Structure 1
């Protein structure tokens, strides 16, 4: 009996050591697998922000911060259109930020605060007929200057190309972000808008708009209960946008982009359509009923940190529905 107990104890210690070694090895491999799995899931993302104002930049900055919190590697490329963005930083958590500043000659031109038509677009002084004073006509030389200055940053673009980004995110009201992402070999493109889904943007993705009940974004005089005259006026403004205004950016920037990247550069309209998702800074319950695409994701309220109690109650009610 004593001999049997001695033999048992003789082999117990090495057996426990062997099992402990196995457990340590398994734990090490498990930690390594989890680390490798995390690396596989981590994406390298470029956020491009030629922002028109602080609110637009803040929206893109919050998207970037959210992606950093999710464990992704985010880079932020910003063109400083407004002096406010020279002193403010849209993002709090992104470490790799690249700045493109306008020249002294262009600084005043790209500052949208100097343009009365654009300022009026955010007030009650909206144009009655967009044929005479459409804000896009003033936006066009600004966006052309931003595009030209950005594409001429050859060393910076080469540096960004070498990063091999998985995803590119930008507000794509014009064609330059799509051309930039294509040049940088970004595989997946995501479009965002810091405002609601306007017709000028939706038409680029073949999403229809109906002038009978959807007000023109630049002259929204049409209400939920409108007269025949106001509907006819809205139809006229929408028709003008479709016929002429929507092509203004294309006519200007196609020449700029091809001069920089070559005449064999792909069709810009097709590059714009090559978008995986579209993030809209709005709530679907507060939008007019309209056709949308499965690519559209509403993320309204992303920037609102100081929501009132009434806003929180409304949000709970909407989510409950």
Structure 2
């Protein structure tokens, strides 16, 4: 991000969310793709947690098991999707530049920022709910995610990140990579 401004960061996230929702709408309007997905009878769907389209899409095409994936680790209200408690008293908001050792005024600001993120998330959730209702899926998206997501694969390393609350639904896969290939000795 080019700016450290909280307003700029939030504006970027909201703009990104709006573009994702527009892409989702194009996908839902594509009858061929929707019919193909429904007729394939997939057992499992994997979707990015930050992009909420997949959760409603999988419900619409009757995919029974859902795995969330997060390319950027877990932050703020994303934790609620896997029932991880949010702890703004010591877990920094992604909108802040704080670490886990915050002063009391920083904790107050962090709490405020966490609530801004929560409100923005609720706005995005409700906008997707309105979109899905146009396609006869009337649901509480937060509840759907809580009930349907088996687990979330998070691109984070629990040993290198700050100490956070966790749950069995959250699987840290950061740092998992293939080792460099070596030549075989003669």
- Per the normalisation by structure 1, the TM-score is 0.51
User: In the alignment, which residue of structure 2 is the partner of 1:194?
Assistant: 71
Within-5 A mapping of 1:240-251? 240-242=116-118, 244-251=119-126
User: In the alignment, which residue of structure 2 is the partner of 1:147?
Assistant: 24
**Ranges in structure 1 where 5+ consecutive residues have no aligned partner:** 1-118, 308-321
Range with bigger deviation, 198-207 or 289-298 = 198-207
Shift of 1:152: 0.9
User: In the alignment, which residue of structure 2 is the partner of 1:209?
Assistant: 86
User: In the alignment, which residue of structure 2 is the partner of 1:267?
Assistant: 140
Distance in 2, matches of 1:253 and 1:266, equals: 10
| 1:220-267: CA deviation from partner (whole Å, max 9, x where unpaired) | 32124333222221111012222x2121212222111111x22x5333
Give 3-state SS (helix, strand or coil) of 1:255's partner: helix
User: In the alignment, which residue of structure 1 is the partner of 2:164?
Assistant: 290
Q: Say which of 43, 50, 54 aligns to 1:177.
A: 54
Rg (Cα) greater in structure: 1
Distance in 2, matches of 1:301 and 1:150, equals: 32
Shift of 1:211: 1.4
Within-5 A mapping of 1:72-111? none
Q: Say which of 273, 277, 282 aligns to 2:151.
A: 277
Distance in 2, matches of 1:211 and 1:301, equals: 26
User: In the alignment, which residue of structure 2 is the partner of 1:223?
Assistant: 99
Classify 1:224/1:293 alpha carbon distance in 2 versus 1 (closer, same or farther; 3 Å).
closer
Within-5 A mapping of 1:53-132? 119-120=1-2, 125-128=3-6, 130=7
- Per the normalisation by structure 2, the TM-score is 0.85
Within-5 A mapping of 1:16-27? none
Classify 1:230/1:281 alpha carbon distance in 2 versus 1 (closer, same or farther; 3 Å).
same
Distance in 2, matches of 1:171 and 1:268, equals: 15
Distance in 2, matches of 1:295 and 1:223, equals: 25
Greater per-residue helix proportion: 1
Distance in 2, matches of 1:283 and 1:173, equals: 18
Aligned residue pairs, count:
178
User: In the alignment, which residue of structure 2 is the partner of 1:48?
Assistant: none
Q: CA RMSD in A?
A: 2.0
Shift of 1:279: 0.6
| 1:250-289: CA deviation from partner (whole Å, max 9, x where unpaired) | 2222111111x22x53332222111111111111101221
User: In the alignment, which residue of structure 1 is the partner of 2:113?
Assistant: 237
Structure of greater relative contact order (alpha carbons < 8 Å, 6+ residues apart): 2
Segments of 4+ moved more than 3 angstroms: 304-307
Within-5 A mapping of 1:300-315? 300-302=174-176, 304-305=177-178
Contact between 1:140 and 1:248, CA under 8 Å: does it hold in 2?
no
